[in-house]
Structures are given as structure tokens and as C-alpha cells.
Amino acid sequence: MLEDLTALRQAEAARRDTEGRLRTVVETMAEGLVVQDRKGKVVECNTAAGAVFHRSPEQLRDSSLLPAGWTCLGEDGAALPYDEQPVPIALRTGRPMRNFVLGLRSDAADSCVSESGVRWFLVNAMPLSDGAISAGVVTTFSDVTAYRRAQDILQLSEDKYRGLIESLPLMVVQFDREMCIEYFNPAVRTISGFELDEVADPAAWTSRILSEDLPRLQEMIHNALSGRAGRTEYRFRAKDGSVKSAFAMGQPRWHEGAVIGVTTLLVDMIRERQLEQDLQRAQRLELIGRLSSGIAHDFNNLLTVVISLADLAHGNLPSGHPVHDDLNRITEAGEQAASLAGQLLAFSKQQRTTTRRSDVNRAARRTLDLLRGVLPSAVRLEVSLADGELFVPLDETQLQQVLMNLCLNARDAMPDGGRLGVRTEAVSVAEEAGAAPWVRLSVADEGCGMSDEIKMQIFDPFYSTKERGTGLGLAVVRQIVEGCGGRVETHTELGRGSRFDVWLPVGSPAFD
């Protein structure tokens, strides 16, 4: 019996020793640990758990875990109802709740440990069972506030750079190591017409690359997968069948010292070349403008002398003298030359003009009265003018010059005759986006039309498809129209005629 008592005492000592070691482990844990009964009251907890609520373990015992003034939040930051919290779920279902993220917020100022006043925890709740009956729950929770904050910062950074990439006009494409497309930005979708799932597979996207260019692109990607950046130019076929040209720059994507894919930046070369052509054209027009301005000024001075001398000669000759006819021809030629010089000055924007707001319909009627005398009988003039008055910020002489040039061009485009249509109309903002209402003046013909190449050059000064043309008519038309804030649109097809739409902003019938 003495031996049994000794063994019992030794077992009790061992139990107390084990219990002490376990309590020490629990008390020194960085994670909070709480034991609750089946009603949710705290039976036991460690110091780390009490510190979360600024209480000692003794103050938490025999109370609910969440004191008054505290709010439990879901992972999305919204208030989390009690029945959806991990402890009640574990007690109700008897199933463990693992890796449950929730936040705790208190109205007390000293409880805020983050900028939002919320502490975030990773919670694990394990039910305790007494046979088939739930006896309580053991809950551990780790503070992941710093990790959550780092995640938020990372997400903000990712959103910022994603927004930057998706707003770029340049195309961005990312490949993985198997050369599958993982991502491309909206610019690729806009230019190519494809969705990502249509071209993600290597067989799909390589089939869109022109065969003679594919080896260069594949070589650039393989080099990037080997850690070497590269660049190349290639052509691909868009979804609508059109051929696009792109300049590609490939950069390896690194992670922990290894290449995990390739990022390519693509420049739409068709757009770049168009911009380059526009710049060269603008520079050429500027040079022509300067040259024509200087020539026109000197030419005007010479013409002034010629016309003045012709007028003096008229006065010095007796009436009926045969030289009068020659002098009249000299004066007429001089005035025509002066008109040409005026067009040069207008084109170069060196001539100062006084602008009067004029009625388009009135100018059209006067111009058409003059035009009927020079149109061949085979050309059928059809006129449709809007009701009332259509005032625009142009002098009537300028309006007549615009309409006359367009109509004469239409006449010349129909050597065998045809319909020449002139139309004016008021267009509301709902029909044509822009500032205030517009007036549209249209001149259409049934002539030979124009190719795309010619269409791109018709407004260039001194460009003409006619043997004796000056090449200034349409250049002056555009200069006059754009000078008042309008624009000229050209609709043409080779062999099917042309239509010029002149858009002019509406103005009042008053002098500027």
C-alpha cells in the first residue's frame, strides 16, 4: 500500500510538472489562445489573448470574448454578424474553422494599432467534444495586421501600375516560358481586334504573324527567355484581315534569379509613320508658305507698277486708238495675276482680312448665277438650299471663293458631263458632335473620283492633277474654312465621283 501511495504521489508530481510546462508554453505564446465553454464564455486564456483587449486573463474569464465597444469585421472590412464568426460556427457545427481572417475595431483611441484603427487576425477555432456533445471550443489567433497592411500597399501599387499599363497607347504583351500569352493590355485588343483567349496559345498567335517575319519575333522571345533583351520589327494580321506593322522590344521577367517570362512593348508603326508623314507635310507646308509669301509680295509690287502704267497709257491715248485693246488685255492679265498673288498670300496667312459674318445661301445663289455661264451644257446643276438664312463667320467673297473652287473642280472631273449637286443645310449638335450648331455646304459630282493616294494630296499647295492647274484651289479652300474654325471632309471613290462637305460654325449676322 505504501508503494501505491508513493507511485500516486510521483504521478501527481509528474502531472503538475507537465501542467506547469504546458502553462508556461501557453503563456509565452505570441499567439492568443482562448478556451470557451459551449455557451461562449471564456474558461481559460493566455496573456497574449488578454493583451488584444487591454485586459488581464483574469478579467476575461467568465465573460464573452468580445467585450462591449468592440466590433468584429469580415475580411472585406464590413461588420461581421455573430453567427458568421468562427467560434459560433465551430460550436454550432462541431467542425473546425481554419485560417479565418477577421478584424477587431474598438472605439477606444488607444486600441488603434493601424492607420485604420483595425487589428487583423488569422483565427483557428477547434471544437471540444464530450462524447457526441460539444463541450466548448479552443481558439488561437495570430496578429496579421502588418501582413495585411503590406498586402494593401502591394495591391495599391499593383492597381496603380496596372492602370498605367492599361491606359498606355502602346501595346504590352506578356509571355510565359512556354510562349503562351498571359496578358495583354487594351491597346492590343483595340489594334488587333482579338480577345486574349483567342490568341493565348502559341499556335494561335504565331498563325497571325506573317511567315517571313515570324522567325525574327521567335528569336527575340527566345533570347529574352535566356535573359537577353532584344528588339525587332514584324507584321501581323489583325482580326479584320488588315496587316499591321509593329516594332517590338522584349525584356526578360525575373523572379528569384530566374527568368519566368517575357514582357514585350509594341509600337504601332503604321501610326508612327503616319505621324512622321504628317510632321513632314507640316514642315513642307510651312516652307512653301514662307516662299509663296515672299514671292507674292514682290509679285504684287511689280503688278502694281504694270497696272498703273497701263492706266496712265490709257489716259495719254486718244479715244479709239487701237492700242487701247492691248492695254485692256494688259490690265486684265495683271488683275488675274494679282488675284493669284492674293491666293498665295491667303494661303501663307500673311494677308490681313476683315471678316464679316455672311449668309451661306446668299453667297451660294450669287456664285451659282456666275457659274451657270461657265458650265458646259452636259453638266446638270442640281441645287438644294436650306430655308432661311445660314450665317457663318466668313466674308461673302471668301464663301464665293470656296464654292467656286469646289464647283470648278467638280466640272473638270466630268469632261463628259454629269450631275453637279450643291446643297446647304443646318445641322444640329445632336446630328454632328461639336460646339453649337453647324452649317454644312456640300458639293458633289459624278466624275472620275480619286484614289486614296491622290486624296491624301489634294489639299497640298501646288498639287494638281490638271495639266494647267495652279494647285492652289483646294489649298485655299481649306485655309479659308479652317481659318474660321471649320473643316472640309472628302468622300470619294475611284470611278464613282466625289463629294466635299464643308462644315462651318454658325455665326450671327453682325460685323466682327
By C-alpha distance, which of 360, 465, 438 is closest to 403? 360
Residue pair 442/499 in contact (Cβ under 8 Å)? The answer is yes
Tell me the average pLDDT across 457-478: 68
Whole-number pLDDT of residue 467: 54
pLDDT, one tens digit per residue, over 392-426 is 988 887 888 899 889 988 998 898 889 999 999 99
Per-residue buried b or exposed e for 84-108, using 16+ beta carbons within 10 Å of the residue's own CB:
ebbbbbbbeeeeebeebebbbbbee
**Same domain, yes or no: 337 and 428:** no
Of 150, 183, 218, which closes a domain? 150
CATH number at residue 73: 3.30.450.20
User: Is the pTM higher than 0.75?
Assistant: no
Q: Which of 168-172, 350-354, 452-456 has the lowest mean pLDDT?
A: 350-354
**How crowded is residue 264: how many other Cβ atoms within 10 Å of its Cβ?**
23
Of 304, 327, 348, which closes a domain? 348
Report the greatest alpha carbon distance in the chain. Answer: 168
> Per-residue pLDDT for 67 more than 80?
no
What is the rounded distance in angstroms from the CA atom of residue 184 to the CA atom of residue 171?
A: 7
Residue 258 lies in a domain: yes
**Same domain, yes or no: 459 and 366:** yes
Residue 84 lies in a domain: yes
What nine digits make up the cell of 363?
A: 453667297
**Same domain, yes or no: 93 and 36:** yes
**Same domain, yes or no: 265 and 277:** no
Tell me the average pLDDT across 189-216: 93
Residue 222 lies in a domain: yes
Residue pair 138/129 in contact (Cβ under 8 Å)? The answer is no
**Same domain, yes or no: 362 and 497:** yes
Residue 221 lies in a domain: yes
Residue 85 lies in a domain: yes
Of 326, 348, 370, which closes a domain? 348
Q: Residue 135 belongs to what domain range? A: 22-150
**Same domain, yes or no: 228 and 285:** no
**Same domain, yes or no: 254 and 182:** yes
Sheet holding 230-237, edge to edge: 181-184, 171-176, 258-268, 243-255, 230-237
Residue 13 lies in a domain: no
> Per-residue pLDDT for 350 more than 50?
no
**Same domain, yes or no: 223 and 335:** no
Residue 424 lies in a domain: yes
What is the rounded distance in angstroms from the CA atom of residue 262 to the CA atom of residue 313?
A: 84
> Per-residue pLDDT for 217 more than 90?
yes
In sequence order, the β-bridge partners of residue 328 are none
What nine digits make up the cell of 231?
A: 528588339
**Same domain, yes or no: 143 and 200:** no
**Same domain, yes or no: 36 and 114:** yes
In sequence order, which residues have a C-beta less than 8 Å from that of residue 492 and are 6 or more positions away? 449, 450, 455, 498, 499
Q: Could you write out the DSSP letters of every residue in 91-112?
A: HHH---EEEEEEEEEESSGGG-
pLDDT, one tens digit per residue, over 249-259 is 999 999 989 99
**Same domain, yes or no: 115 and 235:** no
Residue 158 lies in a domain: no
